Chain A
Amino acid sequence: MTVLVIADHDRGVLDPTSLQAVTAARALDPQVDVLVVGADGAGVAGELAAYGASTVHVATGDGLSDYAPQAAARAAVELVGSLNPSAVVAVGTPRGNEVLAHVAAILDVPFAAECAQVTLSPGAHAIVRNRWGGNVLETSTVHSDLLVASYTAHTVKAEAAAGAGTVVEFAPALSPADTVVRVVDRAGEASSGVGLAEARVIVSGGRGVGSAEGFAPLDELAELLGGAVGCSRVVTSNGWRPHAEQVGQTGTKVAPDLYIAAGISGATQHIAGMRTSKTIVAINTDKDAPIMGYAHYAIVGDVSTILPALVAATRAAKE
C-alpha cells in the first residue's frame, strides 16, 4: 500500500509544513507518494525526497500554473485511482484543508480535519483530532476504506529521511469547471515585511499596548529581529492593527522560534494560535496572567517602558 501526501508550494517555493505531512505519512507507510501541482512543483521534488518521498507526482497542464483547489483535488483523485492508497493526507493549512475537502466531496468519503494522531484500519480508521484550537481532543472512528485526513500544522515535527524521490509527471484530466476557482491575481506583494506564518520571530501586542501608536516599538523590534508583528483579537477589534496580523484560533496559527507576547493576557483563543512556538516571552504587568503559564520567560511590567528599552538594547547588541 501507500499513503498519498498533498504537498503545497507557492510558485515553486515549498510550504515547509508540507515536510511535516511527509514525515507523518512515513509513520503510516514506508511507501510515500507525494502530489505537487503545477510545473513549478518539480523544483521542490528534491526537498520532498530528503524527507522521505518515494515518488513525487508532478501534475501539469493548462489551468494548473497557479493554485486552483478543485483542479488540485482532481489530480489527487486521479492518483487515488491509480495508486489505491490507504490514506490521503496533508497539513491543515487553509490550502491543505481546502484541497482535501474537495477530494472528500468528489469521492463522497469522510474527511477528518485537524488530526493529531492517525492509526490506519481500513473501514474503521482511528483518529484523534483537535477541537477548539487544540484545547479539546476528539477521538473518532472514520468509517471509510480510504482515509482523508489533515494534520494540524506543527503537531508533527519534520524529520529528514532520504527517499527515492522519483519524479513522475502526469497531466490529470480536468473539466472547465475544475479551474473556475483559481488565483487570477495577487496584491500587496510589494511589502518587504515578513509574513506571519513564515516568520521566525513574532513580536505580538495586546490590549496592554494601549493604542495604535503604542505599536511603534513593536514594529521597530520586529524589524531588528527580522520578524513580523502580530496582535491579539482585541487589537484588531479596536482597529489598532489590520486583521492580517491577528494571531489566534480565528486568525493565523503560528509556531515561530521566538514569540514575544507584549501586553497579551493569554485568552484561550489567542493561546490556540501560538502555543507551539519554540520560545515564548511574556511582557505583562500581571505576573498571574494566563500567558505566564505558557511563556518560557517573562518580564513583569508595563510594555510602554520595557519595549523602548528592549529596542535600544537589541540595537546595541547587534552593533
Chain B
Amino acid sequence: MHIAVCAKRIPLSGGRWVLTPDSTEIDTSGPSMGFTLSPHEECAAEAAVQLVEQYGGSSTVLTVGVPDSETELRSLLAVGIDRGVLVETDGREWDPQATAAVLTEQIQKGTPEGDAYELVICGTEAGDTADYQVPVRIAHALGWPVVTNVKGLSITDGVVRCERAVGSAREIYEVPLPAVISVKDGVNIPRYPSVPGRIKARKKPVDVVAGERPEPRLEKTRLDLVEEETRSAEVLGTGPDAVPALVEIFKKIGVI
C-alpha cells in the first residue's frame, strides 16, 4: 500500500507570541522561537509508518512551504517515512483551497516508481490556522471518501475502520480504499527518531517542486494578539485549610 502523508511546518512558540512589524505573521526571529509540526501530523506520519510495516508498500510526506521546511520533512523521514515532496513557496501563506489543489496535483502523480497512492493521511486540522478543510477538499478532488478527526484506525481487506470520539462514546466508520483520513493527536503514540533513523533520513530522497501561489480567496490581511486577560485569581488560602472556602464557592455557583 502506498500512502501519502500531508504535513505543515508551523512556528513553535516559546510561550509568548510576537508579531512581525507589519502584523501579518508570527515573528519567528526571537531566541525562543523555532518551527515544528502539529501533533496531529506527527500522528499521521506514525500511522503511515505502522501501516507500511504491516502491509508493505511505501510512504511519502508532502508539504507546501518555504525551502527550510525540508527540516520538518526530514524529521518525518527520520521516523520511517520513505521520501518527501516539498512544494516550495516564497513564504507567503497559501489559503486552504490553494494548498489542497497543489497537494491533490502531487498525489495524482503517484510515487516516483509510478505506483498510485491508495491512502492519504492528514492531521485533522493545521496547528496554526485550524482550517479543518484540506483533507476534505483533497478527497472531493480525488473522488475518494474522507473521514476526519479519527482517533482509532485499522485496515482489513481494503476497508478502513475509523473510530472517532463523540462525548463519552465512539462512532465507527468503515470506508473502502482508496480514501483520505485525517487523524487527531492520540490516534497513536509517535515514535522518537533513532540515531540510525536520523542518519538514514539525510540520504532519503526529497523532491522539490516549484509552487505557484494562486490569489488567495481566503485572504489574510492582519494578525492581532489576543490581549491576555489580566485576571488574578482570588487566593482562598494555602493547603487543606482553604478547602471549606472552596466548598462555599461550589454552593454559590450551584454545583452542589
Contact = CB atoms under 8 A, between A and B. Distances in A.
Interface stretch (A18-26, A55-63, A80-88, A105-113): A105-113
Interface string A281-302: 1100001000011111111111
Interface stretch (B58-66, B105-113, B163-171): B163-171
Interface stretch (A32-40, A46-54, A135-143, A159-167): A135-143
A301 B242 contact: yes
A187 interface: yes
Interface stretch (B77-85, B133-141, B194-202, B205-213): B133-141
A70 B148 CA distance: 12
A182 interface: yes
Given A142-B218, A250-B185, A293 B232 contact: yes
B247 A113 contact: no
A244 B166 CA distance: 9
Contacts of A137: 223-226
Given A250-B39, A317-B250, A135 B231 contact: no
Interface in A78-114: 92, 94, 97-98, 100-102, 104-106, 108-114
Contacts of B222: 138-139
Q: Which of B17, B131, B139, B233 has the most CB of A within 10 A?
A: B233
A257 B220 contact: no
Contacts of B145: 70, 177, 180-181
Contact of B236 (A97, A268, A299): A299
Contacts of A287: 235
Contacts of B203: none
B255 A114 contact: no
Given A201-B255, A243-B185, A136 B17 contact: yes
A197 B253 CA distance: 20
B147 interface: yes
Contact of A301 (B39, B219, B239): B239
B180 to A, nearest CB: 10
A111 B240 CA distance: 50
Given A113-B133, A136-B225, A310 B167 contact: no
B130 A94 contact: no
A105 B233 contact: no
Contacts of B2: none
A279 B186 contact: no
Contact of B217 (A105, A143, A224, A317): A143
A309 interface: yes
Interface string B115-133: 0000000001101111111
A318 B95 contact: no
Interface in B140-182: 140-141, 143, 145-149, 151, 163-176
Interface size class of B (residues with CB under 8 A): 35 or more
Interface in A221-279: 224-228, 236-237, 243-244, 246, 249-252, 257-258, 268, 275, 278-279
Interface in A138-179: 138-144, 150, 177
A113 B137 CA distance: 14
B233 A297 contact: yes
A195 B231 CA distance: 29
Given A136-B223, A137-B224, A306-B239, A295 B231 contact: yes
A282 to B, nearest CB: 6
Contacts of A183: 171-173
B244 interface: yes
A317 B256 contact: yes
B151 A141 contact: no
Interface of A: 10, 67, 69-70, 92, 94, 97-98, 100-102, 104-106, 108-114, 130-144, 150, 177, 180-189, 191, 193-198, 200-201, 224-228, 236-237, 243-244, 246, 249-252, 257-258, 268, 275, 278-279, 281-282, 287, 292-302, 305-306, 309-310, 313-314, 317-318
16 contacts: A104-B137, A110-B97, A135-B225, A136-B223, A184-B172, A188-B170, A191-B168, A194-B168, A195-B166, A278-B253, A294-B231, A298-B235, A299-B246, A305-B240, A314-B250, A317-B251
Given A10-B166, A10-B167, A139-B223, 13 more contacts: A101-B136, A113-B131, A113-B132, A114-B130, A177-B145, A181-B145, A251-B186, A295-B233, A297-B234, A298-B233, A300-B235, A301-B238, A301-B239
The 6 closest A-B pairs by CB, nearest first: A195-B167, A243-B186, A101-B133, A101-B136, A309-B240, A298-B233
